[in-house]
A and B are shown apart, each in its own frame.
Chain A
Amino acid sequence: MRFMMIVKGTKDSEAGTMPSQELLEAMLRYNEELAKAGVLLAADGLHASSQGIRISYPEPGGKPKVMDGPFTEAKEIIAGYTLIEVKSREEAIEWAMRMPDPHGYGEGQIELRQIIDATDLTQNPDTLAMEASIREQIERRKT
């Protein structure tokens, strides 16, 4: 099963302040440890939300509204994520506990979310049939 370890944003990450050298090294070591255990799938840090764009649908059925960052409420903002593949929920928690405190100053917060298995979504026979017919149309148009 896959989990996403989500590192929440802080005032510093939102201000674009780079983490300390010490923290960077600790993170690097941690990612190496994940890789050496064969559980790391992907890991990335994100730019501050001031460079982000938000697309919302305020009217049901209406046009999407595009809004430039920054967005308020740092705790609701994602600063980075790490994707791991593990055997159990407990293993995911254990790995998350070993991640260095991502921000310090009492602001560090990591959220663990399980990734939905694609087969959960695709086992529905109606969805499968619809998909098959769409695919057929695309292939036919191609040739």
Chain B
Amino acid sequence: MSDSSVLRTIDAIWRIESAKLIAGLARMVRDVGLAEDLAQDALVIALERWPATGIPDNPGAWLMTTAKRRAIDLLRRNKLRDQKYEEFGRGSDLYTENDMDLTMDGEVGDDLLRLIFTTCHPVLSQEARVALTLRLLGGLTTDEIAHAFLVAESTIAQRIVRAKRTLSAKRVDFEVPVGEELQDRLSTVLEVIYLMFNEGYSATSGGSWIRPLLCQEALRLGRILAEIAPAEPEVHGLVALMEIQSSRFKTRVNASGEPILLMDQNRALWDQLLIRRGLAALERARRLGRPLGPYALQAAISACHAQARLASETDWARIAALYEALSRVMPSPIVELNRAVAIAMAFGPAFGLQIVDELASEPSLKDYHLLPSVRGDFLVKLDRIDEARGEFERAASLTRNVRERELLLKRAAECSNQ
């Protein structure tokens, strides 16, 4: 193997092993930042040695053994509290290959779960949670994270350093929360993953509409979580939602980068493998027998679209019912607005208009351009063209997106011509 191909192989091994490595070390040293440093040290040693010695048969075990030796050295040097040292020494028979196989089953999963609950801890800001999770669980470099978020590498590096310091200063336990706390903390974890996914799926800024790396990472984290926390229906719900949304990844934009609406997308290009995986994940959520949560319900809505071979075959009545269920578990005017659209598609624009009119007094939607835009759409269908024009103009004045404004003004002009 040439040197550069060894380096690329080490990079791949790091991608596969780093999260398990950091998670295992963090359980021993009870400090995520220190665990990452130790893992990095092991990586540096591997980078020095492997090009000469070749890659060991079990590189994961090799890295773990090396990192543990560093940990022991470090603990001795620092003369940490006797008790902690003793405790650590007891569990530290250096890893053999058997150990590594042994821990592949239950224990590694538990460590990874502890790690994700720590990197998504509520003491951290949302931004810090995302960056730290990508770094420690995704094994991404700060440079890759910075690229994905279109910010300077130093910004991400600082964010990560500060996050690790906060975890250490606040003495955050490296544990999976239990009892009532579990559900709250789990929603924080799911929120971080979904935020990551959305950031990639519909970039809020910057030139490219889609930033695939973030979507892929979010999906991978979701899939991992589904394996290590299989009893949580919302985990499967989120995975289902991301799988199905990803199936439309390639049809979301046209050749010039403009977004294509769901109803106008080429369904033949939807990724059937991901749709099937999404439906299977949704089924796993359902089979757990608890009422569906917000992610699973959104996935079920997404699944309705995925299962309609033609846009005209969409089961809008079912979608309307699912939005109603969603508005019960996650009441929100935006969900209501979506329900209004589904109702209008299923039963006629007059019924949709009724719901939208009830939303008109909702303060949080006062400046939301989609409310007048949707209302305008219903009015056109009801042949109330003059009123519709007013709504499109109002919607155009509220949106900050240039393309969207052009589209809305065009619709307003069409009303004038009739």
Contact = CB atoms under 8 A, between A and B. Distances in A.
| A and B associate in one complex | yes
Interface stretch (A8-16, A61-69, A101-109, A116-124): A116-124
Q: Is the interface of B mostly helix, strand, loop or mixed?
A: helix
Contacts of B271: 118
B410 interface: no
B16 A122 contact: no
B145 to A, nearest CB: 14
Interface stretch (A17-25, A49-57, A71-79, A82-90): A82-90
A59 interface: no
Interface residues of A, number: 34
Given A38-B220, A119-B250, A94 B9 contact: yes
Contacts of B150: none
Nearest to A92: B12
Contact of A138 (B12, B220, B310): B310
B109 A36 contact: yes
A29 B108 CA distance: 14
B11 interface: yes
B194 to A, nearest CB: 15
Given A37-B224, A135-B268, A88 B273 contact: no
Interface string B1-38: 00001001101110110000000000000000000000
A94 to B, nearest CB: 5
A38 B223 contact: yes
Contacts of A43: none
B216 interface: yes
Q: Is the interface of A mostly helix, strand, loop or mixed?
A: helix
Interface string B225-238: 00110000000000
B409 to A, nearest CB: 25
A125 B221 CA distance: 35
Contacts of B310: 138-139, 142
Contacts of B223: 35, 38, 40
Contacts of A86: 12
A95 B30 CA distance: 30
A122 B273 contact: no
Nearest to B311: A139
Given A88-B8, A142-B312, A39 B250 contact: no
A90 B104 contact: no
B220 A39 contact: yes
Given A36-B228, A38-B221, A139-B310, A95 B9 contact: no
Contacts of A32: 227
Contacts of B269: 118, 122
Given A38-B224, A118-B271, A94 B12 contact: yes
A44 B385 CA distance: 57
Nearest to B313: A142
Nearest to A40: B223
A36 B325 CA distance: 32
Contact of B273 (A29, A41, A119): A41
B277 interface: yes
A30 B317 CA distance: 43
Contacts of B13: 94
A75 B14 CA distance: 33
A118 B216 CA distance: 16
Contacts of A29: 104
A138 B222 CA distance: 37
Contacts of B255: 123, 125, 128
Contact of B266 (A36, A94, A119, A135): A135
Contacts of B108: 36
Contacts of A95: 16
A42 interface: yes
A122 B16 CA distance: 32
Interface of B: 5, 8-9, 11-13, 15-16, 104, 108-109, 216, 219-224, 227-228, 250, 254-255, 266, 268-269, 271, 273, 277, 310-312
20 contacts: A35-B223, A36-B108, A36-B224, A37-B16, A38-B220, A38-B221, A38-B223, A39-B220, A41-B277, A85-B220, A87-B12, A90-B9, A94-B9, A95-B16, A118-B271, A122-B250, A128-B254, A135-B268, A142-B310, A142-B312
